[in-house]
Amino acid sequence: MSEAPPLPTLLVIPTGVGCAVGGYAGDGLPAARLLAAASGCLITHPNVMNGASLYWSDRRIHYVEGWALDRFAAAELALAPVASRRVGLLLDAGIEPELRARQLQAAEACRATLGLAIGPVVTTEAPLGVGLSLGPSGTSWGSLERPDALLRAGEKLVAAGATAIAAVARFPDDPDSEALAAYRAGSGVDALAGAEAVISHLLVRHLGIPCAHAPALAPLPLDPDLDPRAAAEELGHTFLPCVLVGLSRAPDLVPLGPHDGTAGAGPAGRFGPGQELTRAGGLLEASSLGAVVAPAGALGGEAVLACAARGVPLIAVAGNPCLLQVSGEALGLEVISASSYTEAAGVVLALREGLDPAMLRRPLRRLE
């Protein structure tokens, strides 16, 4: 009996909102691996996949930056799988010499050990001036004093042949802050995530190629009571390896016109669920999506709402609480509830096999 074709599935875990799963350094990876196995094709973003010095490479998982992920879900971009790409390294001029050397050593290690194509290296013309802040809800946010310097450095890398960009900006050190202590203890929010999103969004929107960010920070003193979810960030001098690995096979971002399946072009996209994913050069489009998985309290994001508007089955994971309370009930959305990512993977597998997930629950409602 032949295996069911892949069911392209979108996994969204919002950045900087304190998610119990995926709110730390790569602790969403086990969920992503399970959903990739269940679906055969998973599209997700760096916040889920990045584990500092730790990473997991899986050809069934497509690594797509958050701004591009929203555009993909809105049917404005398609994804074109690639075998490999050259990752340019963008370094903030505000990084001190020793810390800069550590970033370059991490890149050299990925070249020599993993065989990745990395380079050239470009340093911004001025320090980027990253600022960190928290919103009224407690979610993390950030600012950039010199976005122009960031974008010009990105343009130089593209002109020099880079097909993806790993950016490293100097982030403020605050080892004694209460927020950092709470995060390391497993009860806080990733204070860096909001500013990281600003940097990667700017680059991808301006350049149209895969980009992701790794912060440059001084190492922290040992904390013997560290929460396991924060441990990946304590292993090395940089957060760069996971970004380089993720970008090394990140798909091309292909703009779509009105005739190519953008919103309003009709329900029939170029491919149905699972079609053309195994053919070299085949595009993956939003019309192919068979499911979207997100925390039950964080359903207000652009990607989730775009999928819901097209009737893509929305799996809301109640077992991943966060600071937000934007539920399906609050938004008037029909959702399939899952208590955990294990249950969500079962729902995805049921959809892939053509089963109605409601038929696996009891009691069964009678037909009216």
**Residue 301 corresponds to which tokens in the numbers above?**
């994001």
**Under a CB-based contact definition with an 8 Å cutoff, are residues 358 and 14 in contact?**
no
Do residues 236 and 273 share a domain? no
Percentage of the chain exceeding pLDDT 90: 81
User: Is residue 6 over pLDDT 90?
Assistant: yes
Radius of gyration over every alpha carbon of the chain, rounded to an integer in angstroms: 20
pLDDT number for residue 191:
87
Place of tokens 């973003």: 45
Give me the DSSP letters along 110-163: HHHHH---EEEEEE-SS---EEEEE-TTS-EEEEES-HHHHHHHHHHHHHTT-S
The contacts of residue 222 (CB under 8 Å, 6+ apart) are none
Do residues 126 and 244 share a domain? yes
Last residue of a domain, one of 197, 223, 248: 248
Do residues 268 and 353 share a domain? yes
Last residue of a domain, one of 248, 266, 297: 248
Closest CA to 55 of 243, 229, 311: 243
What is each CA distance from 280 to 74, 80, 82, 243, 277, in whole angstroms? 24, 9, 9, 25, 8
Closest CA to 130 of 181, 103, 100, 167: 167
Is 207 a member of any domain? Answer: yes
pLDDT number for residue 264:
33
Round the average pLDDT of the chain to a whole number and report it. 91
| Cα–Cα dist 287/274, whole Å | 10
Handedness of CA 24, 143, 127, 148 (dihedral sign): positive
Handedness of CA 256, 209, 276, 315 (dihedral sign): negative
| Cα–Cα dist 72/79, whole Å | 8
**Under a CB-based contact definition with an 8 Å cutoff, are residues 177 and 229 in contact?**
no
Q: Are β-strands 336-338 and 61-63 bridged in parallel, bridged antiparallel, or unpaired? A: unpaired
Do residues 100 and 191 share a domain? yes
Do residues 73 and 98 share a domain? no
Closest CA to 212 of 85, 361, 94, 331: 85
| Cα–Cα dist 126/92, whole Å | 8
User: Is residue 259 over pLDDT 70?
Assistant: no
Q: What is the average pLDDT across 196-205? A: 96
Is 291 a member of any domain? Answer: yes
Rounded-to-10 torsion of CA 234, 171, 147, 208: 0
Burial of 236-266, coded b for 16+ CB within 10 Å and e otherwise, reads bbbbbbbbbbbbbbbbbbeebeeebbbeeee
Q: Is 240 left (phi over 0), alpha (psi -120 to 50) or beta?
A: alpha
Do residues 263 and 200 share a domain? no
Q: pLDDT tens digit string along 167-178?
A: 999 999 987 788
Do residues 144 and 72 share a domain? no
Is 276 a member of any domain? Answer: yes
pLDDT number for residue 270:
33
Q: pLDDT tens digit string along 44-68?
A: 999 999 999 999 999 999 999 999 9
Q: What is the average pLDDT across 60-86? A: 97
| Reported confidence tier of residue 279, pLDDT bands at 50, 70, 90 | very low
**Under a CB-based contact definition with an 8 Å cutoff, are residues 65 and 212 in contact?**
yes
**Residue 19 corresponds to which tokens in the numbers above?**
């998610």
Distance from the Cα of residue 293 to its chain's centroid:
13
| Cα–Cα dist 7/40, whole Å | 6
Highest mean pLDDT among 176-190, 251-265, 352-366: 352-366
CATH of the domain at 348: 3.40.50
What total of structural domains would you count in the chain? 2
Do residues 146 and 235 share a domain? yes
DSSP code, position 342: H
Percentage of the chain exceeding pLDDT 70: 93
Is 4 a member of any domain? Answer: no
User: Is residue 19 over pLDDT 80?
Assistant: yes
**Under a CB-based contact definition with an 8 Å cutoff, are residues 123 and 99 in contact?**
no
Do residues 120 and 241 share a domain? yes
Is 175 a member of any domain? Answer: yes
Is 185 a member of any domain? Answer: yes
Do residues 101 and 238 share a domain? yes
Angle at 365 between CA 361 and CA 368, to 5 degrees: 150
Do residues 353 and 304 share a domain? yes
Closest CA to 354 of 2, 1, 5: 5
Give me the DSSP letters along 268-335: --SS-TTTTSSSTT--B-GGG--EEEEETTB--SHHHHHHHHTT--EEEETTS--S--B-HHHHT---
CB atoms within 10 A of CB 185: 13
| Cα–Cα dist 234/231, whole Å | 5
Is 368 a member of any domain? Answer: no
Is 167 a member of any domain? Answer: yes
Last residue of a domain, one of 220, 248, 276: 248
Domain span including residue 73: 9-81+257-360
Do residues 166 and 210 share a domain? yes
DSSP code, position 34: H
